[in-house]
Amino acid sequence: MVGPGRIETKAATPVLVYYWPIMSTAIQSNQQTTACDARQRRATRAAAAFEAMVSCAVPEIPAQGFLAGPHTFDWDAARERLDHTLDRGDDNLHFALNVETLLGRGFSDIAEKATARTRDCQGEAAVFLEAIARCHRAAADFAGKHARIAADQADSSQGEEAQRLEQISTTCQAVASQAPASFRQAVQLFWFAWCLRGRGTIGRLDQHLYPFYKADLDTDRIDRQEALRILVELWEGFNRGDTGDTLRNLMLGGLDRQGHDATNDLTYLMIDAALTVCKPEPHLCARVHGSSPATFLDRVADLQLFGHGQGTIYHDDALIPSLIEKGVPPESARNYSNDGCTEVTIDGESGISFLQLEAVKALELTLFNGEQNVLHGNPVGRYVTRLQEPRALRTGLVTGYRSGDFTAMTDFAQLYEAFLDQYLYQVDRKLEELTRGVEHSMEHGCSSPFQAGTFPECLQTGRDPFRGGFTVPCHMLFSGSIPTVADGLAAVRQVVFEQQQCSPATMLDALRANFEGYESLRHLCRKAPKFGNDDERVDELAADIARHFCERVKGWPTPTGKPYWPALYNHLFNDFAKVIGATPDGRRWNDPIAEHYSPTPGQARSGPTAVIRSAARGPLADACGSAVFHISLSRTMVPRNDEGRQLLRGLIGGAMDQGVAVMNTAIYDVAALKEAQMNPEGHQDLIVRVWGFSARFVELSADIQDHVIQRTNQEA
């Protein structure tokens, strides 16, 4: 195994060498003091930046409904108030706030608690706690501004309008001064906090809001219809402004910390709200397990049946034991949620950081002995939407590592050994890079004080989340598209070594030529086994590669003492396809590669059950960071009726029986998608699943649109 600080070498092979400086204790101590001072200055600046942002924000009282609060902020005005940059601290928005603490305390109490703790702490902890207090006092003042403005508007209004504004004022004043005492107040507090943070991941909101809903319901202060109206207004708020890759994931259902089913009435109401609003945000996900109520599974199927790619399934019975095996305490493991895409986080207890590597590129480097294949075009792409500026792309892997001469190999075992050598070499380089990033954050990072104030450990000790404020470290390495690697290896095994229909040299020539002039060979490659069709010949290759990856990641020494989490996932699959030349599965340059642990688009021809069986052969639970695969079905196969619901219920049940960890099912009318490409103005309401989110189809870049269409499974 290659460890941090040294490189595996081969005779006469030039390799990249990392030099790690050895510092004297005095120098190290001085650097630590300097870093600590810098962090304290940054925490103070972050609090000032948050105060400036809030003071420049214009309070918004809705013209209808009851949910107050802004959707946009005047960043330019905020910058003018500062003598430094508008740096509110580090927050990638990929993890949820600790909403339980937020709703249990409220802004004012968090500020008071932080101030009180400064008297028992010293140095950096006291500075960070004061920054937390300043941010939450500013948030409370902001809620109070809304209360005063709504009260003024109520004074100049009459009848029902005056009553509506008075209720807004009362709610905002309560939120400004204390913890919420009603469902409406809890929703309003969450909304203020979520907007002030900068939006992002939502977490297990049905669990956090349920105590307030239940208390109001039991005392007749609210009924289900009124609660639904409040949620619909919240859902409409989620959809104001940008949509798409917004990180707005919301997890429903699942087990509670004690291991009991936590599905509740609010879980169902949130599904009702999503189906009522019928817009992309937020992206609803569902935790299921062996004791999930049948009614819940039916409603999840309804969500999937709608066709927006909503209702991604997370399987508690697979994921929770895997998290525990990696050192997560059982109560925390049972409280997992997801980040802004599909990765697993611990709700209210962890952040997340990650890197990813191009598995298909590792196959290319294997075949060309450390060198890159020819690209038959300019590797330029847009991240997601057609409105984003195109950017130049390049591989993130290390070239030049000699894993063996493919043309000299006489059997598949030699090639596979060379691939694992090259692939794991690249995995090690990414693990070194991830470790350097974690160490840098631990030494230099300064979390957003506003965000940190919702985490109990931060509030109690003054420790930044980067340095102990999160109770569960969550650092991941992604390696998606392994199914495309398996397709390529299976093709070489069959065409080159088993049937000897071409030589290794001829295969390389065909790949360099992008199969131009080699159509018959490409046809043979495309006929080889493909992942997603319940074919062990290729599925076991993918599974073995994934197992090697997971073992390497789990065994890597980490700065936190806790293992990194492997993930069979890649959100940059569209970019990666542009920096990888033709591959031996018959794919040409710029043709799509598999996303996550899904089949390569267009290659799953045996129906959704076969896709599940192919995926289930892999170590899906062990890849606890995320091991999602997509099943994309045509609308003609899954109609919007009871027949369609039963089909989806069958897929959910089959996936659970097979031990699947994460599965997304999306249903599309392929003809409508193609028509939308020609006439986008007439299809503004067409919503599709992209990777960890859903978005309006017409807003996507052309190649992402093509990818969505190609991965849709037609009737087998």
pLDDT (mean) for 248-259: 97
Per-residue model confidence as pLDDT tens digits over 359-403 = 999 999 999 999 999 999 889 877 666 667 788 999 999 999 999
3-state SS assignment for residue 371: coil
pLDDT of residue 702: 81
Share of residues in the chain with pLDDT > 90 (%): 78
Does residue 555 carry a pLDDT above 90? yes
Please report the pLDDT score of residue 674 as a whole number.
Answer: 83
Confidence class for position 613, pLDDT limits 50, 70, 90: very high
Interval 30-37 mean pLDDT = 78
User: Each residue of 37-78: pLDDT tens digit?
Assistant: 999 999 999 999 999 999 999 999 999 999 999 878 888 888
Q: According to the model, what pLDDT value does residue 14 have?
A: 28
Q: Give the pLDDT confidence score for residue 72 in this predicted structure.
A: 82
Mean pLDDT of all residues in 614-625 = 98
Region 286-292: what's the mean pLDDT?
98
pLDDT of residue 23: 32
Those residues with Cβ within 8 angstroms of residue 256's Cβ, 6 or more apart along the chain or in another chain: 207, 262, 334, 335
pLDDT-derived band of residue 680, with 50, 70 and 90 as boundaries?
confident
pLDDT band at 672 (very low <50, low <70, confident <90, very high): confident
Q: Is 413 exposed, middle or buried (0-12, 13-18, 19+ CB in 10 A)?
A: exposed
With residue 419 as reference, give the H or E element that holds it.
Answer: helix 412-444
**457 phi/psi in degrees, rounded to 5:** -65, -40
What pLDDT was estimated at residue 52?
Answer: 95
Does the structure show a pLDDT above 90 at 307? no
Length reported for the chain: 716
The predicted pLDDT at position 586 comes to: 98
State residue 662's pLDDT score: 97
Q: What is the mean pLDDT of the chain?
A: 91
pLDDT at 3: 32
Q: Spell out where 279-374 has E strands.
A: 283-288, 312-315, 336-338, 344-346, 353-358
SS3 489: helix
Of 79-83, 165-169, 397-401, 452-456, the one with minimum mean pLDDT is: 79-83
CA torsion 147→148→149→152, rounded to 10°?
Answer: 120
Domains and CATH numbers, the chain: 35-347 (3.20.70.20), 353-631 (3.20.70.20)
**Per-position DSSP letters for 502-546, written without gaps between them:** S-HHHHHHHHHTTTTT-HHHHHHHHHS--TTSS-HHHHHHHHHHH
Query: pLDDT at position 411, please?
Result: 98
Q: Does residue 32 register a pLDDT over 70? A: no
Q: Is the pLDDT of residue 6 over 70?
A: no
- 680-701 average pLDDT score: 73
Whether the per-residue pLDDT at 693 is higher than 70: the answer is no
pLDDT exceeds 60 at position 713: no
Q: What is the pLDDT of residue 636?
A: 82
Tens of pLDDT, residues 120-154: 999 999 999 999 999 999 999 999 999 999 999 99
Res 317: pLDDT: 98
Confidence of residue 25 (pLDDT cuts 50, 70, 90): very low
CA distance 280 to 104: 29
Spatial contact of 43 and 127, defined as CB atoms under 8 Å apart: yes
* The model's pTM: 0.91
Contacts of 206 (CB under 8 A, 6+ apart): 252, 253, 264, 266, 267, 270
> Mean pLDDT across the stretch 258-270?
99
Q: Identify the pLDDT of residue 384.
A: 62
Phi, psi of 252 (to 5 degrees): -115, 150
DSSP category for residue 11: T
For residues 323 and 624, what is the distance between their CA atoms, to the nearest angstrom?
A: 6
pLDDT number for residue 275: 96
Specify the range with the lowest mean pLDDT, choosing from 217-226, 377-386, 654-663.
Answer: 377-386
Beta bridge partners of 358: 480
Residue among 354, 349, 353 nearest 328 (CA): 349
**Does the pLDDT at position 715 exceed 90?**
no
Q: What is the pLDDT of residue 18?
A: 24
495 pLDDT exceeds 60? yes
CA 479 to CA 485: how far, in whole Å? 11
When mean pLDDT is compared across 152-166, 218-232, 237-251, the lowest value belongs to: 237-251
- Above 70 in pLDDT, residue 5? no
Give per-residue pLDDT as tens, 415-426: 999 999 999 999
pLDDT reported for residue 11: 32
List pLDDT tens digits, range 584-600.
999 999 999 999 999 99
pLDDT band, residue 319 (cuts 50/70/90): very high
Give the DSSP per-residue string, 252-283.
Answer: EE-B-TTSSB---HHHHHHHHHHHHH-SS-SE
**Residue 359: CB partners within 8 Å, gap ≥ 6?**
423, 479, 480, 481, 482, 484, 485, 545, 570
